[in-house]
Amino acid sequence: MKITQDFLNDGPLGRPTYQKLSDWAKQKGYNIGEQAFRSRPQIVLLIKQAKERYQRSGSEAEEGAYITFDIRNEMTKVQSKSDMQKLLDTLMEREAYFKNLYERNCALSKIVRRQVEQLAQAAEKVQNLEEEIVQIQRQNITYKHQNVEFRRKNSRMKAMLEEQIYPEIVLSELDELGLQIERSKITEPVRERMVADGNSQSHTELTNKVIPLLRKQVEHTEPELLVEDAELQCEKETVNSIEESKESDIGIYMITQMQEKFNKNP
């Protein structure tokens, strides 16, 4: 056991073998054969562990020993057939080492090439994603402009509903009730609001500006009704002044009639 430990600590560099262990023991004066070492489980375990450490090891000291190996110097030390055999074993060991080193380098080279390909694919994917992001940003800008236009149109349509359609519905209901309400000319603020940009106005602001439905309004599409003789206009003003006192009673009556109608036909 001690011989094996001394061999692993002070023996020759390279992959440990039972042949090397036996030769090293004989050099130290112990006539122990290779089979004797193989028959000891503890020695087998030590050699196995040493071989595993050697396979995992890539220390600079071992590599330096292999690289600085001088074959001419070793040839001068050969004095016998056994010395020649040791030299051949050493050369074969170094050949196996460099072969193993070459194979590891080839494997690492394949791994590096594969990683480079993966990086290239990842870079291409990133570029494609960046292009998609740019397209999405452009679409977003387009949608924002469309949203502004839709809000502007929505504001205009809402103004038209509140200023024209809804009053016409009320007037139609009043006509069915037999109440004739004169339509007056649409005021300029109403016209401006119908064509205004409602982008910065909320629905609440628009609703608050609605002119009351029971107010006298005029359909601007019939301007010919406004052209009348001065005498007729004077007579109408006289009639209107007489009927002003009745306006409040008429309004109350209209609301009552509309409520009854809506209750019957909700």
For residue 243, tell me if it sits in a domain: yes
Q: Check residue 233 and give its pLDDT.
A: 58
Cα–Cα distances in Å, from 146 out to 150, 164, 199?
6, 26, 12
How many C-beta atoms surround the C-beta of residue 217 within 10 A? Answer: 23
For residue 133, tell me if it sits in a domain: no
Of the candidates 163, 179, 194, which has an alpha carbon nearest to the alpha carbon of residue 255? 179
For residue 65, tell me if it sits in a domain: no
Instruction: Identify the sign of the CA torsion 25, 26, 31, 37.
Output: positive
For residue 143, tell me if it sits in a domain: no
Q: Tens digit of pLDDT for each residue in 32-64? A: 777 777 787 888 888 887 777 777 665 444 555
For residue 242, tell me if it sits in a domain: yes
For residue 20, tell me if it sits in a domain: yes
Q: Check residue 241 and give its pLDDT.
A: 53
Q: Check residue 257 and give its pLDDT.
A: 62
Q: How many domains does the chain have?
A: 2
Cα–Cα distances in Å, from 266 out to 78, 112, 172, 262?
122, 79, 16, 5
Q: Check residue 202 and give its pLDDT.
A: 42
Last residue of a domain, one of 36, 57, 78: 57
For residue 138, tell me if it sits in a domain: no
Q: Check residue 4 and give its pLDDT.
A: 77
Q: Check residue 198 and give its pLDDT.
A: 44
Domain hosting residue 28, numbered range: 1-57
Total residue length of the chain: 266
Phi/psi-derived region of residue 78, left when phi > 0, alpha when psi is between -120 and 50, beta in every other case: beta
Residues 213 and 166: beta-carbon distance below 8 Å = yes
In the chain, which residues have pLDDT < 70? 10-14, 56-69, 174, 178-266
The three state secondary structure string of 105-121 is HHHHHHHHHHHHHHHHH
Q: Tens digit of pLDDT for each residue in 221-248? A: 444 444 445 455 555 555 555 555 444 4
Q: Check residue 138 and give its pLDDT.
A: 93
For residue 79, tell me if it sits in a domain: no
